[in-house]
Structure 1
Amino acid sequence: MGASSYSFVRAEYDEDAAKFALPGGADDADLHAPGIQNLFDQDLAELHGADHFVLVLPAGAAAHIEAGIAYGLGKRCWAVGPSDRSETLYRIFAAMTVDAASLVQHLKDSRVLQ
C-alpha cells in the first residue's frame, strides 16, 4: 500500500541494550544507561519522522506514552486491537478499530491510504 512502519520489535539494539528488549528487561534499568539513552533517541527520532501513529492494543505504558508524544507532535493517531476499557484520553485517536482489516478499511475510507 506504499506505507512503511517502525516498531520497537525491529529496533536496532546494540549489545548493551539487548537485555532491555527482553520482556521485563527494562523494569529495573538505569534510565541514564547508554543503552537506554540510545533506545530513547531512536524511538524519539522515529516519532518525529512519522507521518502517522498507530497504537497496537493491548499495549503497555511506554506505548501509550509514545501515542501521547505522537499526538503532541501533531501526528494523526489511530489505535487497533482489543481494548478492555475506555480511557478519556483515547480521544487522541482519529479512530479505534478492533482489527487490522478494519483499520485499513477506515484509512482507505478516510483517504489516508489511496
Structure 2
Amino acid sequence: MGHEIVHQPRLAWDGARAFVAAADTDHLYPWLGRRLATLLGPAYREALTESRWLVRLAEREEAPFVEVAKWRARLDDALRYHPELADGLRALTADVVFRMAAPGKAAGRG
C-alpha cells in the first residue's frame, strides 16, 4: 500500500475544530481524552481538559475560536516533529467527526 500525501496544516485544522467541539460534549470528552493520551501523550489529555473548561466557563463568545487556534498550532507542531502520527491523527479526527454527527449511535464507545 502506498503512502498518502498529508497536508499537515489541513489535518491540524480539521483536528483542532473537531477536538474543541468534542471537548464541549459530555459524551465524547472522556473518550477523546483517553484517545489523545494514547496517541499523543498525557499532555494532550490535559490540554483537552483545559480547553473544555475555557470554552464552558468563558464569558467571551470567541473562546471556542481561540481554543481552536491553540489546538491547530499544537497539532501542527506535533505533526511537524512526528510526521508518523499523521495516520493516527487523521483516523482519530474522522472518528470524532463521525461521533459528533451520530452521538446516540457511536458516542464514546470503543
Q: TM-score, normalised by structure 1?
A: 0.29
Report the structure, 1 or 2, having the larger strand content: 1
Report the structure, 1 or 2, having the larger helix content: 2
Greater relative contact order (CA < 8 Å, ≥ 6 in sequence):
2
